[in-house]
Structure 1
Amino acid sequence: MTKSVRMTVFALLAVVAVILGLTFNKFTQSPPLDRETLRDSGVFIFETPRTFSMAPLVNHENQSFSADNMKDHWTLLYFGFTYCPDVCPTTLAKLNELSLELQELNSELAKRFKVVMVTVDPQRDNPAKLANYVPFFNRDFVGVTGDMANIYELTRQLNVAFTTVGDTTKDDYLVEHSANVVLVNPKGDYHGFIRPPLVAVQLAKNLQAVDRGF
């Protein structure tokens, strides 16, 4: 084999190696974060995450819960109440399904997502009440309560609406509230939100894309 032929063969082999490498990357690397596609499935990601502040609240173990508790991991923040007849238990059950799907998809990914329910009914939802309710859906879920003024200020910043319906001097009043799940990124910023219905299998894949694009 002449020198020129050998050089031609080596050049062709190099080209083939590049093509194979590009093909491998195409099938093994996650696709770029596509906000429009995510939006179509109910996941809304802001172009620029929004900062917010919060006065300390307390979790269902009666320990302080502050903004620092939502750093270094993703937080799926849901606002509801334990007396909720339908939406809240359904949402928490779906978030539990999501946790199981994330675990199935990638155990390390699952560790990076925490679920927190902040009550919009602190008059009835004290730590003990939350402790009997929130961990029922998943023992790793955290329930949070505290002063109503502090909760209201937090919901205002996170675009979560709620209003009390009925006589609050009786124990059968309800609270109408947004059903969106707020997404807080590992820096502790308001990253976006998720609209129901929550389809666990698809949402797990979407959150994987969000995590990889962070």
Structure 2
Amino acid sequence: MNRRAMPRSPLIPAPRILTLVAPAALALAACQPAPVEEPPLAGAAIGGDFTLVDQTGQARQWSDFRGRYAVVYFGYTYCPDVCPTDVQRTAQGLRAFAKEHPKDAAKVQQIFISVDPARDTPQVVGEFASAFGKDIVGLTGTPEQVAAAAKAFKVYFSKGKDEGAGAYLVDHSTVTYLFGPAGEPLATLPTDQGADAVAAELAKWVR
């Protein structure tokens, strides 16, 4: 073999090598998929079967909402402050989310569940829910049914002292849950931060 006939590789200075390698490394890194953020409530034992009644008098179960994202809030219609505020901000957040992501927003169902079945009849729950959005599902039931649903969703509630003439407050959890299409808990919605924050949180998880 004639070694003199073999082509010789030119020596490339070290700075030149780095110049060539760096863009290639960056291009390779750009091709790697970004890590997927796990929902904060992933794997939590929140949610479960219930049988309640909606504003039309129809029996509803948790399984009825499979295939859709569900936003669930437990409260009561006679609540003087936090319940209407949270439900309103959730509804406003959903509408803001719908402006940017109409197809995704169509997959979301807002649900209000009463923890005051003694006063919150289907008609009363329906009037309350419709005041914030025509598509909100309002649910109530017997005291036993409501208690079972609250237990499944890790929600606390307790009837306060009767002030006379049937007037009383109900102490309760004020968390707004977001569930996935299979009924899995995903996250809580920051209603305390306003409608825009709710819309932003929905955009992170609803696909």
Return the TM-score normalized by structure 1.
0.75
Structural RMSD (CA): 2.8
Structure ID, larger Rg: 2
- Report the counterpart of residue 50 of structure 1 in structure 2: 45
Which residue of 126, 133, 151 maps to 1:131?
126
State the Cα deviation string for residues 117-160 of structure 1 (Å, max 9, x = none): 00000110011111211111100111100011121122112221
CA distance in 1, matches of 2:163, 2:184: 33
Which residue of 62, 65, 70 maps to 1:67?
62
- The size of the alignment, in residue pairs, is 185
Which residue of 77, 96, 109 maps to 2:72?
77
Which residue of 23, 33, 37 maps to 2:37?
33
Contact conserved, 1:95 with 1:200, CA < 8 A, in 2?
yes
User: What letter matches 2:119 in structure 1?
Assistant: R
- Report the counterpart of residue 104 of structure 2 in structure 1: 109
Contact conserved, 2:117 with 2:140, CA < 8 A, in 1?
yes
Q: Which runs of 5+ in 2 are unaligned?
A: 1-19
Q: Which runs of 5+ in 1 are unaligned?
A: 1-11, 36-44
Aligned residue for 2:149, secondary structure, equals helix
Stretches of 4+ moved more than 4 A in 1? none
Return the TM-score normalized by structure 2.
0.78
CA distance in 2, matches of 1:168, 1:89: 22
Aligned residue for 1:50, secondary structure, equals coil
State the Cα deviation string for residues 170-196 of structure 1 (Å, max 9, x = none): 321110111111222210233343354
- Report the counterpart of residue 87 of structure 2 in structure 1: 92
- Report the counterpart of residue 186 of structure 2 in structure 1: 191
1:168, CA displacement in angstroms?
A: 8.2
Which residue of 154, 176, 191 maps to 1:181?
176
Aligned residue for 2:206, secondary structure, equals helix
Which residue of 154, 159, 162 maps to 2:157?
162
Which residue of 141, 148, 153 maps to 2:136?
141
| Pair 188,126 (structure 1): closer, same or farther in 2 beyond 3 Å | same
Contact conserved, 1:81 with 1:125, CA < 8 A, in 2?
yes
Aligned residue for 1:197, secondary structure, equals helix
Aligned residue for 1:116, secondary structure, equals strand
| Pair 83,201 (structure 1): closer, same or farther in 2 beyond 3 Å | same
Contact conserved, 1:163 with 1:177, CA < 8 A, in 2?
yes
User: What letter matches 2:178 in structure 1?
Assistant: L
CA distance in 2, matches of 1:71, 1:210: 16
CA distance in 2, matches of 1:91, 1:78: 8
CA distance in 2, matches of 1:169, 1:56: 31
CA distance in 2, matches of 1:114, 1:172: 31
- Report the counterpart of residue 16 of structure 2 in structure 1: none
- The worse-fitting range, judged by mean Cα deviation, of 201-210 and 180-189 is 201-210
